[in-house]
Amino acid sequence: MKTLLARPWIWAWVAAALAFALTAAISQNQGAWGLAVAALTFSAFSVIVGLGQMFVITLGPGNVDLSIPATMTLAGTVSLKVMDGGAGAEVTGLAIALAIGAGVGLTNYLLILLIRIPPIIATLAASFLYQSLAIWSNRGLRVKPPESLAEFAVGRSLGLPNLALLALVLSVLAWVALNRAAYGRQISAIGQNPRAARLSGLPVEAVRLATYMLCAVLAGLCGFLLSCFSGGAALNMGQEYLLASIAVVVIGGSSIGGGRSNVPGIWAGALFLFLIVSMLNSYGLGAGVRLLMTGLIIIAIVAVGSRGPRGT
């Protein structure tokens, strides 16, 4: 029990469990299973972008990607426009979304490296470019996804949402990369002491490039899936995932200062955020009150969780 309580993600899971119990108790329209399915479905999007943001934040202080919402919008709008709702274009649309993510990640890294501006400024400035490209490509049109993709996005397998199962697979791969691969050791070393990592011969810049590209690729994938789930891409579709991608990382127990991160906490943070908003909505509270109470609860969870050691 002492070892379990020392885990940095345990408090986020405790908070998510309490939020689930309270929300299920006051919910009038769905039972516990319906709430669980909804939580898994909508949390999957936060998990996907949260995994990418987690890798970036692990690089150390100042590393954060603020272009995630714009990347989601650009990938969703362009891929759906190319597919144009036609059958047989699913693979092409997915490839375009992932390619857009890779291009965005490369652009973000080059801005940081060549212009030598902080990542938070570089990604924020670049996001305006990506959003403008999305607006130009969309031109007010709302193209529907192919029927097969729409059915996959809202469908279930083995009784669980397809999106949640996909996010789970990505989470397992992320856990392996962090804990069983050389990349995980390298990114942790860079986050703990970039200068020492560079002096020890680690390919610091190559790891940073791969990390920013990975984050953007996951954002592109999330935008593709969200547009298929929603029946079309909207120009504000990624807006709520700006702070959510950071919040799930911090709430989940990863160190905001970099160097240490964990995958289980991403799921706990995503589920907690969805459930707490659902619970506050059930009470009919206004948007301002919901934001205030959500912020206070997040601060409390982070304060309690920070007492334990950070780690995987």
Q: 101 with 221: CB under 8 angstroms?
A: yes
Which residues is 156 bridged to in the sheet? 161
Counted residue by residue, the chain has a size of 312
Where residue 289 sits, what CATH number does that domain have?
Answer: 1.10.3470
Domain, as residue range, for 239 = 2-305
Q: 153 with 223: CB under 8 angstroms?
A: no
Q: Is 68 among the domain residues?
A: yes
Mind giving me the DSSP string for 90-157?
Answer: HHHHHHHHHHHHHHHHHHHHHHHHHS---HHHHHHHHHHHHHHHHHHHHTT--PPPPHHHHHHHH-EE
Query: Residues 193, 253, 179, 44: is their CA dihedral positive or negative?
Result: negative
Q: Is 110 among the domain residues?
A: yes
Q: Is 312 among the domain residues?
A: no
Q: C-alpha distances in angstroms, 301 versus 12, 105, 259? A: 7, 31, 21
The answer, yes or no, to whether residue 305 has pLDDT greater than 60, is no
Which tens digits make up the pLDDT trace of 204-238?
999 999 999 999 999 999 999 999 999 988 888 98
What is the C-alpha separation between 197 and 193, in angstroms, rounded? 6
Q: Is 7 among the domain residues?
A: yes
pLDDT of residue 217: 98
Q: In this structure, how many other beta carbons lie within 10 angstroms of the beta carbon of residue 241? A: 25
**pLDDT band for position 294 (cuts 50, 70, 90):** low
Q: Is 310 among the domain residues?
A: no
Which tens digits make up the pLDDT trace of 156-202?
998 999 999 999 999 999 999 999 999 999 999 999 998 999 999 99
What the block records as the tokens of 308 is 């334990």
Which residues is 157 bridged to in the sheet? 160
Q: In this structure, how many other beta carbons lie within 10 angstroms of the beta carbon of residue 114? A: 9
Q: Is 311 among the domain residues?
A: no
For the whole model, what pTM was predicted?
0.91
Per mean pLDDT, which of 6-15, 105-114, 231-240, 288-297 is the most reliable? 105-114
Q: 81 with 138: CB under 8 angstroms?
A: yes
Q: Is 278 among the domain residues?
A: yes
pLDDT of residue 312: 47
Domain count, the chain: 1
Mapping DSSP to helix (H, G, I), strand (E, B) and coil, where does residue 167 land? Answer: helix
